[in-house]
Amino acid sequence: MEKMTEGIGMITVSLCMIVKNEEKILARCLDSVADLCEEIIIVDTGSVDRTKEIARNYTEAIYDFDWIDDFSAARNFAFSKATQEYIYSCDADEVLDEKNRQRFRMLKEAMLPQIEIVQMKYGNQLQFDTVYNFDEEYRPKLFKRLREFVWVEPVHETVRLDPVVYDSDIVITHLPEKNHASRDIANFHKHTAAGYRLPPRLHNMYARELLMAGDKDELAEAAEFFRQSAADQTRSGDELMEACCVLAKAARLNRNATEFMKYTSKALVSGSCSEICCELGAFYEAEKDFQEAEIWYYNAVYETQPILLLACGGRLGLEGLIRCYQAEGNAELADHYRQESERFNAEE
């Protein structure tokens, strides 16, 4: 990726948002970004509070969109209303502090015209138990509105299909008012129950949402989809393992030992992962077979790798070891793994 250089001329930006019942946090977000954008587009998907009234303090470009359980459709509608060179996609629970507002201004002044997508770091993830494993990770946030097709290669020329992406140093602070996991899980279930085949990225996200935040009923409701996924030979090995993780947890919480053993065994044959080891540890811990539970919790942390939740390969496995050794009255080992847990948490 070429480094950005100055002297290009400042770009113009349309801020595009989809909102619903965001009266508590919308002004906080817009106060941090409104003066950085030449245009503000607000698409409301059914607010019954003061959201639109607050939005009118910042823009007249407010549109209603009937909610159809499809975030992409709503965002595409918002993007269709933009008129500036670039589109900044923003959610109401995001904030730019002054340091990153300055970075945004500098980006606008120095943007190379060939850049089509700018990624920004999404920060403050772990504080709110979101579905993401990292406190900071890149997300595409700024998009060139009209793409210019360019021929490349001196011989056997072809049109460049991959977008030109720039990883910026801008960090967006994520300050959600509440966890949206139940909403997302319900949305996943609705679409899968209607026959929608989740692509690999969404298959992973659905499994991760369920493992991190799904309750007993939500896991049971999702089980049929993941049974089909586990039996689908066109699914990848990663997707098979994700399905086994969900089905093992669902079976354990619903005390279905036969199904629990079926899917943990299937996962172990396929190579295993920290999540399956944690599930086996939790199963034997509930049976008060602490020595067996300790084996699996140890394997979760030290012998396998997580595929969905990093915490299974660290904090959660270590907490299981601490509980088991405490239950056995082994204070020395419980204290050892407590220190290990503190080290893992510091590294996270």
Q: Are 137 and 121 in contact (CB under 8 A)?
A: yes
Please state, in angstroms and rounded to a whole number, the distance separating the CA atoms of residues 141 and 102.
16
Task: Work out the pLDDT band at 20, boundaries 50, 70, 90.
Answer: very high
Q: Where are the beta strands (DSSP E) in the chain?
A: 13-19, 39-44, 62-64, 86-89, 94-95, 117-123, 137-144, 151-152, 158-159, 165-174
Tell me the pTM: 0.79
* Domain count along the chain: 2
Instruction: Tokens 């939740």: give the residue.
Output: 309
Q: At which of 142, 174, 206 does a domain end?
A: 174
- Report if residue 343 sits inside a domain: yes
Return the number of other C-beta atoms located less than 10 Å from residue 322's C-beta: 19
Give the CA-trace dihedral at 137, 39, 95, 315, to 10 degrees.
Answer: -30
Stronger pLDDT, 347 or 290, i.e. the higher one: 290
Q: 243 with 137, same domain?
A: no
Q: 229 with 319, same domain?
A: yes
- Report if residue 5 sits inside a domain: no
- Report if residue 21 sits inside a domain: yes
Q: 256 with 126, same domain?
A: no
Q: What is the pLDDT of residues 192-250, one digit of tens each?
A: 999 999 999 999 999 999 999 899 999 999 999 999 999 999 999 999 999 999 999 99
Q: At which of 134, 151, 174 does a domain end?
A: 174
DSSP letter at 247? Answer: H
Please state, in angstroms and rounded to a whole number, the distance separating the CA atoms of residues 67 and 335.
52
Query: Which tokens is 37 given?
Result: 């954008």
- Report if residue 327 sits inside a domain: yes
121-130: b or e for each residue (b if 16 or more CB lie within 10 Å)?
bbbbbeeeeb
Domain that holds residue 44: 13-174
Q: 204 with 303, same domain?
A: yes
- Report if residue 6 sits inside a domain: no
Q: 233 with 161, same domain?
A: no
Task: Work out the pLDDT band at 345, boundaries 50, 70, 90.
Answer: confident
Please state, in angstroms and rounded to a whole number, the distance separating the CA atoms of residues 329 and 175.
41
CATH number of the domain to which 270 belongs: 1.25.40
Q: 118 with 207, same domain?
A: no
Q: 122 with 149, same domain?
A: yes
Q: What is the pLDDT of residues 124-147, one digit of tens each?
A: 655 544 555 555 789 999 999 998
The residues, ordered by sequence, that sit 6+ positions from 216 with a Cβ below 8 Å of its Cβ are 250, 253, 254
